[in-house]
Amino acid sequence: MAPKGSKAPKARPKPPDPPKEYPTIADELLAAYQESRPYQTLAASKGIQNLTANEKACYAHAVFLETGAWRSWPAATQNEFWKTIQSEKIPIPLPKPQDLGRDTRGIEVGKYTPAEFKLYLRREREIEGLLGKTMGYLRAIMAAKEHSPRVLELTEHIISMNAAHYTVWLYRSQTLLALNSSIPAELEWVNNVALDNQKNYQIWHHRQILVEHLVQDVGSDEGKLRELGKSEVAFMKEMFDEDAKNYHVWSYRQWLVRKLDLWQKGEIEDCERLLREDVRNNSAWAHRFFVVFSNPRYCTEGSKATEFDGGIPDEILDREIEFSKAACFEAPQNQSPWNYLRGVLKKGGRKLVSLECFAGEFVKIPEKEGEGEEDVKSSHALDFLADAWAEKGEREKADRALRLLGDKYDRIRKNYWDWRRALLKSDGGGLGGIEGQFVVGAKLFGH
């Protein structure tokens, strides 16, 4: 009997492909989002008209699934819909990934590797549990109205986990003052916390309390007040080096100017430095306007940003006009210096017409329509001229400028420019939307 041939070895199943590695968690989440929408991706790449009949049907079902339109259907139709989803294996679309924000060090969480992100989530869960325990301790201490060194240690610990807890900051300040603790030492600690938490406003309220207390201690000692002002301005420069448009820092700075009487030239020079670095820094423009036109040495007390103030010297008005004109030349399409220019003229009781020739440097319009193409380098200059011409009673020219803005140079706000045209006609050739512009300017400059 012939021996049987040996059996062929069984084929080994192919091992699954290793999971794809992504450089960042943001890339991984985006890939998962795109993989959950295969038919939407297919339609975008091939075009809906080029899909097969089955692909079109699956695409339609995927869209219904993503938009949630199926929820309004009758129960029987919903059942059929889900049978199709399962039979065609249409994946449920994931929501579009959102910005994961920044961690306590200011690093973008989306730039973590997937492994780092897992550790981050684990650490956040641990901190959340720890925060709950420590807050329990603090509530007990607050109930007992305890103010002791261990309260400062506990609040520092809580702030290291959650720097945005207003109640913790408030109780810490109360404890500091009750213990007569060193305010300069606290400010040094607060500096580090602020640099690590750029968008936290509670820190700046705490800082106000500290500085208020220091000012009371210093009294009328001009030298010490000057030193305090210098140190605070120096720290704010550090903050602006990180983010020159940090709203909380600018709000604090405005408060500090009033509190320490910092109306001197240095404030204007700091604004100029920041505007040289970025002429579009609207916050620096706002602070300059505040410093120049709220100075109690020459401004009328209680005068609003949109009101004429006869106390402002002509040389200051001329200086601010020249400064804003230079900024307009540097960046003609930057709205900030144009708004600033309007504000300066309003405070000085000067007419827009006084700068018609300047604004005309950016706008060339043929005398008659159809005689040539207009040359507009700045839509804001055209807006300025529209109001200047309305001020002169040249309604047709003003209307033409507003029409050009709505039809060609600022079409996204066409409804606004049409409203301005209607206002121009209804008020008998008055200043059109100029008062509305100053309301905007008042908001812009923080008044």
- Pick the more confident residue, 20 or 296: 296
Give yes or no for a contact between 211 and 259, defined as CB atoms under 8 angstroms apart: yes
Answer yes or no: is pLDDT of 429 > 70.
no
Give residue-wise pLDDT tens across range 225-255. 999 999 999 999 999 999 999 999 999 999 9
Residues 334-393 pLDDT 10s: 999 999 999 999 999 999 999 999 999 999 999 877 777 889 999 999 999 999 999 999
Give the closest residue to 225 by CA, choosing from 251, 254, 256. Answer: 256
Residue 320 belongs to some domain of the structure: yes
pLDDT tens digits, one per residue of 285-338:
999 999 999 999 999 999 998 899 999 999 999 999 999 999 999 999 999 999
Percent of the chain residues past pLDDT 70, beyond the cut? 91
CATH number of the domain where residue 360 is located: 1.25.40.120
Report the pLDDT value the prediction gives residue 13, as an integer from 0 to 100: 65
Report whether pLDDT(432) > 70.
no
- Is 283 within a domain? no
- For the chain, give percent helix, strand, coil, nearest 5: 70, 0, 30
pLDDT at residue 444 in the model: 41
What per-residue confidence (pLDDT) applies to 347?
A: 96
Residue 331 within any structural domain of the chain: yes
Last residue of a domain, one of 87, 105, 130: 87
Spatial separation of the C-alpha atoms in residues 120 and 125, rounded to whole Å: 9
C-alpha–C-alpha distance, residues 436 and 447, integer Å:
15
Please report the DSSP string for 228-282 in residue order. HHHHHHHHHHHHHHH-TT-HHHHHHHHHHHHHHT--SHHHHHHHHHHHHH-TT-H
Measured CA to CA, the distance from residue 172 to residue 176 in angstroms comes to 6
The structural domain count of the chain equals: 2
What does the pLDDT look like over 144-168, one tens digit per residue? Answer: 999 999 999 999 999 998 899 999 9
User: Which of the pair, 101 or 363, is modelled with greater confidence?
Assistant: 363
Q: Is residue 440 part of a domain?
A: yes
| Residue 328, pLDDT score | 98
Q: Please report, rounded to a whole number, the percentage of residues in the chain having pLDDT higher than 90.
A: 75
Residue 430 lies in a domain: yes
Predicted local distance difference test score (pLDDT) of residue 14: 66
Q: Does residue 165 belong to any structural domain of this protein?
A: no
Asked whether residue 405 is domain-assigned, the answer is yes
Quote the mean pLDDT of the chain: 90
Which of 59, 87, 115 terminates a domain? The answer is: 87
Answer yes or no: is pLDDT of 446 > 50.
Answer: no
3-state secondary structure of 376: strand
User: Count of CB atoms within 10 A of residue 331's CB?
Assistant: 14
The answer to the question of residue 192 being in a domain is: no
The range of the structural domain enclosing residue 48 comes to 25-87
Cα-based distances in Å from 324 to 272, 285, 305, 445: 11, 10, 17, 14
Q: What is the pTM of this model?
A: 0.73
Paired strand residues for 108: 102
- The helix (run of H) or strand (run of E) holding residue 363 is strand 363-364
Task: Choose between 384 and 122: higher pLDDT.
Answer: 384
d(CA 337, CA 313): 20
Question: Domain boundary residue among 87, 107, 129?
Answer: 87
